[in-house]
Copies of this chain bind each other. A is one copy, B any other.
Amino acid sequence: MKSSFGTHLNLSLFGESHGQAIGVVIQGLGAGIPLDLDYIRSRMELRRAKGGISTQRHEGDTFQIISGFFEGRTTGTPLCIFIPNTDQHSADYNRERAAVLRPSHADYTAYEKYGGYQDPRGGGHFSGRLTAPIVAAGAICQQILKANGIQIGTHIIRCRTVRDSWFSSIDENALREEIAALEYREFPTLSEERGRQMRELILAAASQGDSLGGVLETAVCGIPAGVGEPFFDSVESVLSHLIFSIPAVKGIEFGMGFGFGERSGSEANDPFTIREGKIRTKTNFNGGVNGGITNGMPIIFKTVVKPTPSIGQPQETVNINTMEETALTIQGRHDPAILHRARVVVDSMTAIGLCDLLIERQGTAWTSQKFTD
């Protein structure tokens, strides 16, 4: 298992969905950062947002900061965030039922990996619930980035047949307004009408015991040119590593992404120009990254989130104890979509990755600089 990430800003994640608690130990934060706990809470709330759709566990994801935080500021030593599982339903766990593998879940793969010793309750360590401490850590990183003029936003750009409009990828001022508008929206689309249509599709799927996936678009605004650590730690490498850690993500593309497969060089290159005394590109097909390093334009990427595999319809599967084929109808209520909730996790992972890259260049001292000068 490798449940830690990051060379300069390092996260160590722990916990299982139905265990006693989940949490994260964060290393690499400088001393003296005044944490905005309300902001962290608001981000964690968005991860739990219904957006008019979801059903989820009732617990409030109350977090505690166990260490590394004294009199309202970071101390510079490891910061441990601890989130008790108050709604564990452990009684729900049934060894017989667990033997019937849920298709497209990690039931089978975790069984093979851990020889049957994994915690099988609710997805164990591989549950989407583990994204809660990620969001808390991400909120701290976003606070640091904001203090340095860097903002991150994500919206749902596609859900089945409905498409939202694109982020303004050239006009930084327009983009900042779009990001601000999205910040506290429970179902984050730029067009509220398109958001309404997407929700209708999702509710229609839910009424049939089905679920939907979709595509998210993320923008980072205000990131300076020169960030990224190729050969291996290109901006795309670091962000994709983190984004693919989010359960249900199956693809990522930067700038025009798979569209590059249909274009020629003359249609795909971004010409340089001077705007307000700075080098900028006229188009942003490359999503703000050239050669794995930021070029000062907004970073733009898209992430695909697969439909939640827990559906109410009968499915073919196998009982791993008897090694016989069988049918399974997953009981209980499940999220018919997690797109709107995933976006805050994508924001968080992005913030974590960018902080890791920025600290490499500027040291841990950089993280607290704007707060202690």
Verify A296–B112 contact, CB threshold 8 A: yes
How many chain copies? 4
In the assembly, what is the distance between CA of A155 and CA of B281, in Å? 33
Q: Shortest distance in angstroms between A146's beta carbon and chain B's nearest beta carbon?
A: 20
Answer yes or no: A76 CB below 8 A from chain B CBs. Answer: yes
Contact A269 B363 (CB under 8 A): no
Chain B residues lying within 8 Å of A19, measured Cβ to Cβ, are 66-67, 70
**Interface flags, A256-280, vs B, CB<8A=1, else 0:** 1110111111111111111001010
A4-B27, A16-B77 given as contacts; is B257 within 8 A of A254 (CB)? no
> Are B15 and A67 in contact, CB atoms less than 8 angstroms apart?
yes
Q: What distance in Å separates the Cβ of A222 from its nearest Cβ neighbour in chain B? A: 15
Query: In the complex where A241-B241, A293-B112 touch, is A251 in contact with B250 (Cβ < 8 A)?
Result: no
Q: Are A1 and B244 in contact (CB under 8 A)?
A: no
Contacting residues of chain A (27-58) with chain B, CB-CB under 8 angstroms = 27-28, 31-32
Contact between A117 and B307 (Cβ–Cβ < 8 Å)? no
Interface stretch of the complex, out of A173-181, A189-197, A231-239:
A231-239
CB contact between A109 and one of B75, B249, B294 (< 8 Å): that residue: B294
Contacts of A115 in B (CB 8 A): 31-32, 372
Q: A138-181: contact bitstring with B at CB < 8 Å (1 yes, 0 no)?
A: 00000000000000000000111100000000000000000000
* A221 CB contacts on chain B under 8 angstroms: none
Interface status of A137 (Cβ within 8 A of chain B): no
Cβ contact within 8 Å between A1 and B27: yes
Contacts of A273 in B (CB 8 A): 316, 318, 325
Chain A positions 295 through 333: 1 when the CB is less than 8 Å from some CB of chain B, otherwise 0: 110000010111111110101111010011100000000
A23 adjacent to chain B (CB < 8 Å): yes
The contact string, 1 if C-beta is below 8 Å from chain B, for chain A 1-13, is 1111101101111
With A10-B4, A66-B21, A268-B213: A244-B250 Cβ-Cβ less than 8 Å: no
Q: Closest CB-CB distance, A315 to chain B, in whole Å?
A: 6
User: Are A15 and B258 in contact, with the CB atoms below 8 A?
Assistant: no
